[in-house]
């Protein structure tokens, strides 16, 4: 009788394993389980595609290498895509959905319109993954892999990346407009918006360090140059020489799409120069400079520490990226794995 019970249990487990594997590609129902007790059996874990698509990261990196070699700025754009995805409905690739009969695209939100880039690179990665491993690797995981790969290829840190996200069937234009920190944010606003995602002040400063690569449009910092406090005066925290340099790029009238590097000293290199520039009053965006001037001891001290110790910044950036990538992922039977990242299957 006991033998019969054990055999029956094994059959049930095997059946459950097969069901989970088909509904949750890459999931391996091992005896040891994966992830912590809170999310078992559907936690994210780094080996998610170990058997279902072991070449997934290699495919992502091969596309990224070409794209970033052709346009170094693309690394920052892909990193930003992951941020703008996770801060809305969680890391579910909702940001990639185009307008349709059922979808109002997040691409049209204030923070994203005429600004978010890199969609064609994601399309290329997805197409190559569909050839190699059809309907296995989610668009949400592609965004996470592309963000890590872009950081590495720019000279930044590597990290063990938990995988297993699935793709949303919905998007939220409204949440995209309200949850993504604007470039003119006060420090309190930044802290509030990050806290909403379960991210603290350490995560805020470390993740802001992603601005060590990439560019920003004139429209995102024009207010600092001409009317920071509604008095037609520039932001007094701007270093004077830097202020005059920015005025030449960003006129008071027009030129909204002119671009300036977030870190003018090493715009394509992932390093800690961003924090050094903030100390010198040369942070490009209000949301950059307030990390040091916003009268919060914690953020001020972190800016100083990261400016002094690049390895400390790299270590925390990696940890905070993993934490951000874990915001409300769809796993198990939730969502889907899209064939095309731009539309729901």
Instruction: Determine whether the annotation assigns residue 32 to a binding site.
Output: no
**8 Å CB contact between 93 and 341:** yes
Instruction: Determine whether the annotation assigns residue 315 to a binding site.
Output: no
Instruction: Determine whether the annotation assigns residue 85 to a binding site.
Output: yes
Instruction: Determine whether the annotation assigns residue 106 to a binding site.
Output: yes
Instruction: Determine whether the annotation assigns residue 212 to a binding site.
Output: yes
Q: Which residues are catalytic?
A: 84
**Distance, CA of 287 to CA of 182 (rounded, Å):** 8
Instruction: Determine whether the annotation assigns residue 92 to a binding site.
Output: yes
Instruction: Determine whether the annotation assigns residue 331 to a binding site.
Output: no
Instruction: Determine whether the annotation assigns residue 167 to a binding site.
Output: no
Burial of 317 (0-12, 13-18, 19+ CB in 10 A): buried
**Distance, CA of 80 to CA of 213 (rounded, Å):** 10
**8 Å CB contact between 129 and 136:** yes
**8 Å CB contact between 260 and 221:** yes
Instruction: Determine whether the annotation assigns residue 237 to a binding site.
Output: no
Please state whether beta strands 215-217 and 259-261 pair in parallel, antiparallel, or not at all (unpaired).
antiparallel
Instruction: Determine whether the annotation assigns residue 94 to a binding site.
Output: yes
Residue 266, CA distances (Å) to 99, 157, 227, 271, 276 in order: 37, 16, 28, 8, 11
Q: Name the residue with tokens 């509604």.
A: 230
Sign of CA pseudo-dihedral 87, 93, 95, 99: negative
Instruction: Determine whether the annotation assigns residue 271 to a binding site.
Output: yes
Q: Which residues are annotated as a binding site for Ca(2+)?
A: 85, 88, 90, 92, 94, 106, 212, 263, 271
Q: Which residues are annotated as a binding site?
A: 85, 88, 90, 92, 94, 106, 181, 211-212, 263, 271
Q: Which residues are annotated as a binding site for substrate?
A: 181
């Amino acid at each position: 009788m006991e033998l019969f019970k054990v055999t029956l249990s094994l059959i049930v487990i095997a059946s459950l394993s097969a069901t989970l594997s088909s509904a949750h590609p890459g999931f391996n129902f091992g005896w040891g389980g994966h992830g912590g007790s809170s999310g078992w059996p559907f936690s994210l874990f780094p080996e998610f595609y170990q058997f279902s698509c072991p070449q997934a990261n290699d495919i992502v990196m091969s596309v990224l290498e070409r794209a970033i070699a052709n346009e170094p700025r693309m690394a920052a754009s892909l990193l930003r895509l992951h941020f703008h995805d996770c801060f809305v409905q969680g890391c579910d690739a909702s940001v990639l959905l185009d307008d349709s009969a059922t979808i109002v695209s997040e691409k049209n939100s204030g923070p994203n319109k005429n600004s978010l880039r890199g969609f064609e690179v994601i399309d290329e990665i997805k197409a190559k993954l569909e050839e190699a491993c059809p309907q296995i690797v989610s668009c949400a995981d592609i965004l996470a892999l592309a963000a890590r790969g872009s950081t590495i290829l720019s000279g930044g840190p590597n990290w063990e990346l938990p995988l297993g996200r699935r793709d949303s069937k919905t998007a939220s234009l409204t949440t995209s407009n309200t949850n993504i920190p604007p470039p003119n944010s006060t420090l309190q606003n930044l802290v509030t918006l990050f806290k909403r995602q379960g991210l603290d002040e350490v995560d805020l400063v470390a993740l802001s360090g992603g601005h060590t690569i990439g560019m920003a449009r004139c429209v995102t910092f024009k207010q600092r140059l001409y009317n920071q406090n509604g008095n037609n005066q520039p932001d007094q925290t701007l270093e004077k020489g830097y202020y005059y340099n920015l005025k030449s790029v960003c006129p008071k009238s027009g030129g909204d799409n002119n671009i300036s590097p977030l870190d003018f000293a090493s715009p394509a290199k992932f390093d800690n120069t961003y924090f050094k520039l903030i100390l010198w009053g040369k942070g490009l965006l209000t949301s950059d400079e307030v990390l040091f001037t916003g009268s919060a001891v914690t953020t001020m001290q972190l800016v100083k520490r990261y400016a002094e110790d690049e390895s400390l910044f790299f270590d925390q950036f990696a940890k905070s990226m993993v934490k951000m990538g874990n915001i409300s992922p769809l796993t198990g039977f939730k969502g889907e794995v899209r064939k095309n990242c731009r539309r729901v299957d």
